[in-house]
């Protein structure tokens, strides 16, 4: 992909990630604009706070780990990586507690739970590969993990589309419990397939570590 296009896409993704992450921290203190349907989840207190705290932290730092400038600073890349993985694990475990009791019903429960399981799986796998110093595979699994973390952004982008097309809010919510992450994972797979054997864009061209 053209470097200019990939940089622009990264910038847009990073701005959206940081905005959604910062705005979502309000759930950690249960203050500000809180969605009624989410607060009606039986497990909302305290699990939404745990989920939003962990997941927002992962979303806040995740995009920056793709930058060569951060990756060249090994210690920073490692510490941000630990913070990212810890955020995913805390956010993912809490998501699995919240998913069965979403007020959007069983189809949304399965959509969120499946996302949670795959999110945890890809992140743990990426972390294990980094520990084993298998950095190329580590990078590929982290791309999958972040594509799923980014579901928090795509969910909020897609959510208003349903009502515009005449669906009610809850129907739209059920749909995005799947659509927010399925296409992201597919896009990550297509990207990885296209770049099989070559160092992906926005990664450190000099070193293979990290």
Question: Toward ligand HEM, which CB reaches closer, 116 or 210?
Answer: 116
- Give the whole-angstrom CA distance, residue 80 versus residue 92: 18
- Give the whole-angstrom CA distance, residue 4 versus residue 11: 11
- Give the whole-angstrom CA distance, residue 85 versus residue 81: 6
Single out the residue of 97, 94, 88, 95 nearest to residue 121, CA to CA.
Answer: 88
Question: Toward ligand HEM, which CB reaches closer, 43 or 209?
Answer: 43
Distances (CA, A) of 210 to 32, 53, 75, 137, 196: 38, 26, 10, 10, 17
> SS in 3 state form for 127-184?
HHHHHCCCHHHHHHHHHHHHHHHCHHHHHHHHCCHHHHCCCCHHHHHHHHHHHCCHHH
Residues that bind ligand HEM (CB under 6 A): 20-21, 24, 27, 35, 37-38, 41, 48, 51-52, 55-56, 58-59, 91, 95, 98-99, 102-104, 112, 115-116, 119, 148-149, 151-152
Question: Toward ligand HEM, which CB reaches closer, 148 or 204?
Answer: 148
**Minimum CB distance to ligand HEM, residue 208 (Å):** 28
**Minimum CB distance to ligand HEM, residue 70 (Å):** 19
Question: Toward ligand HEM, which CB reaches closer, 24 or 65?
Answer: 24
**Minimum CB distance to ligand HEM, residue 201 (Å):** 23
**Minimum CB distance to ligand HEM, residue 179 (Å):** 13
**Minimum CB distance to ligand HEM, residue 71 (Å):** 21
Question: Toward ligand HEM, which CB reaches closer, 127 or 204?
Answer: 127
In sequence order, the 6+-apart residues with CB closer than 8 A to the CB of 206 are 72
């Amino acid at each position: 992909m053209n470097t200019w296009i990939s940089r622009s896409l990264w910038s847009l993704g990073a701005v959206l990630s940081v905005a959604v992450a910062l705005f979502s921290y309000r759930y950690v203190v249960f203050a500000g604009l809180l969605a009624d349907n989410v607060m009606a989840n039986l497990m909302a207190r305290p699990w939404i706070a745990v989920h939003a705290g962990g997941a927002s932290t992962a979303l806040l730092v995740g995009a920056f780990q793709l930058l060569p400038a951060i990756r060249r600073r090994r210690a920073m890349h490692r510490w941000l990586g630990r913070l990212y993985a810890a955020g995913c694990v805390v956010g993912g475990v809490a998501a699995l507690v919240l998913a069965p009791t979403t007020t959007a019903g069983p189809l949304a429960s399965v959509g969120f739970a499946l996302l949670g399981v795959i999110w945890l799986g890809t992140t743990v796998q990426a972390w294990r590969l980094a520990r084993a110093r298998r950095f190329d595979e580590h990078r590929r699994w982290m791309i999958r993990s972040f594509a799923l973390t980014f579901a928090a952004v795509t969910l909020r982008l897609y959510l208003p589309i349903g009502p515009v097309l005449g669906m009610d809010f809850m129907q739209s919510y059920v749909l995005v419990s799947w659509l927010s992450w399925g296409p992201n994972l597919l896009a990550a797979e297509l990207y990885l397939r296209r770049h099989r054997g070559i160092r992906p864009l926005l990664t450190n061209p000099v070193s293979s570590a990290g």
